[in-house]
Amino acid sequence: MILSSVVEAIYGGPYVLAAKRRAQSVLARPRTKPPAPPVHEGEWHKSVEQKQIVPGLTVHEVGLSVFGETRSLHDRPDANETLGVARLKVAHVIINGAEEAHRRGQKPPTVHGPIEPRDLHNPAERTAYESSMNAAREAYLAGHDPTHGATHFSIEGTPSRANKVYKRGTRQGVPISTQSGPYYNSYLGKDVKSHIA
């Protein structure tokens, strides 16, 4: 009899409760996630850049096209958003245009062909290149398209919000979905007449 009451006191009494409470408090504590294994960022970037948007167009090539289109542009303090954000939109437009053309069995809209930078030791060239490649990776991986499916873009010298009228398009043109700028443009050419873009 004495033996049974000792067993009950040990196993059915406060010792068991204390053990249960301690076990519950351990379970109630938030578990900390183990740190992710280290990944070399450059290798991850290369992996993403090798992905194909459509047959014959990789994320890397989208980045090179963004670079070709925007390497002469530079941030200005009066811009509505940074050039990095505008490059992201350009990358989305290139991807949207390529996907739409692929669905229709057509050639994608004309953009600057992929162009490798000439001098990555030049800080401005390196910044434009890295920003363009980052824009292409982000656009490919993003779940949100800030251009709302736009398939064409242009670099203009005025902030007009009027419909964009294309040479072979309709007279009423197409509405603008987003607008970025103004930026300083260091390149002047036959289609580009202003240092403000």
State the pLDDT at residue 169: 79
- pLDDT per residue as tens digits for the range 14-34: 444 444 444 455 455 555 666
Rounded CA-CA distance 51/181 in Å is: 30
For residue 146, pLDDT beyond 50: yes
Give the mean model confidence (pLDDT) for residues 78-83: 93
Model confidence pTM above 0.95: no
Output 91 or 188, whichever has higher pLDDT. Answer: 91
C-beta separation of 78 from 197 below 8 A: no
DSSP letter at 115 equals -
For residue 124, pLDDT beyond 70: yes
Rounded CA-CA distance 160/183 in Å is: 15
State the pLDDT at residue 192: 57
C-beta separation of 97 from 144 below 8 A: no
Give the mean model confidence (pLDDT) for residues 174-191: 80
DSSP letter at 156 equals -
State the pLDDT at residue 6: 41
Provide CB contacts within 8 A for 93, sequence distance 6+: 147, 150, 151, 152, 153
Q: 96-100, 123-127, 129-133, 170-174: which has the minimum mean pLDDT?
A: 170-174
SS3 97: helix
State the pLDDT at residue 188: 65
Class of residue 37 by CB neighbours under 10 A (exposed 0-12, middle 13-18, buried 19+) = exposed
- b/e per residue 68-83 (b: at least 16 CB within 10 A): bbbbbbbeeeebebeb
Output 132 or 16, whichever has higher pLDDT. Answer: 132
Continuous H helices in 74-181: 83-104, 123-141
